[in-house]
Amino acid sequence: MKKTVLSIGLAFGSWSFAQGQCEEIYLKGSVKDTAMAQSFYNLMVINITTQQGVFGRPNGDFSVYVRPGDRIAFSVKGYGKKFIDIPQQNKCSIDTLVYLSPNIQKFEEVQIYPIKSLEKIKAEREELSMRETRTVTGVNALSSPITFLYERFSQKAKSKRQVAEMEHQDNINNVVKELLRVFVSYDVVYLEEEQFMAFINFLNIDEHFLRTASDYDLIVYIQDKLEHYKYLHPDLFK
């Protein structure tokens, strides 16, 4: 009985060898930049199939044992990944050259707004008051568009009272913007900077309430209004 089993095992081994199927393949090679000679100090060779990985050498060379059917990824920070699939073959080693292309990233212009403290904003809330605007001459419309519009408004024989109201509303809006930035930074509300003005117009906050309310009351009020705003404009918050 033992001889029979041994005979079958020997026969099966001979058949596998005859077919040239390698259970394990030695994969080696080098990773190159498509544009220039480059060193890769953070090259990772990852076997996606087995979820195991090894580091490559700084010059881009690598070596790893794989199996037929494995999917191998080559990853370098700042470059696009490259994948190869290991085929069934009669040679138990593969020598390959892998080319990686650097990622080309485009960044949109980002405006950074300093976050004021709640104490500072509270002082600004309390200082809100109506006042007459001064007459400004020689205003550069590009550097000071709001003041320019105020002056144009006045020059067309509109009353200073109307100009003062516009300035005053602008001051209120700026204070509310600062509040929203603080609340967003504290994860109290979730709103993008470009959505502030539309929401502020919807908010239409009472000046007396803005000046006298506590921080907690303002948070509750704005959160409640924001939920209502989201309900009316669900397309803006997908």
Taking the domains of the chain in order of start, what are their residue ranges? 23-100, 118-237
| pLDDT confidence of residue 111 | 58
Provide the residue count of the chain.
Answer: 238
Question: Is the pLDDT at 106 greater than 50, yes or no?
Answer: yes
Residue type, 74: F
Closest by Cα among 93, 73, 91 to 83: 73
pLDDT category at 2 given cuts 50, 70, 90 is very low
- 128 vs 98, higher pLDDT: 98
| pLDDT confidence of residue 109 | 57
pTM over 0.75: no
- Cα separation, 151 vs 139, in Å, equals 8
Closest by Cα among 6, 57, 10 to 29: 57
Work out the number of other CB atoms within 10 angstroms of the CB of residue 224. 10
- 202 vs 120, higher pLDDT: 202
Tens of pLDDT, residue by residue over 42-56, are 788 889 888 888 888
| pLDDT confidence of residue 171 | 87
| pLDDT confidence of residue 26 | 93
Q: Which of 12-21, 30-39, 117-126 has the lowest mean pLDDT?
A: 12-21
Tens of pLDDT, residue by residue over 124-183, are 888 876 544 444 444 454 555 666 666 665 555 456 667 777 888 888 888 999 888 888
| pLDDT confidence of residue 155 | 54
Q: Which of 51-60, 104-113, 119-128, 194-203 has the lowest mean pLDDT?
A: 104-113
Structure tokens at 18: 């005859």
- Say whether 186 sits in a helix, a strand or coil: coil
The CATH superfamily label for domain 23-100 reads Immunoglobulins (2.60.40.10)
Structure tokens at 81: 């990944």
Closest by Cα among 210, 120, 144 to 172: 210
| pLDDT confidence of residue 199 | 92
| pLDDT confidence of residue 28 | 92
pLDDT category at 231 given cuts 50, 70, 90 is confident
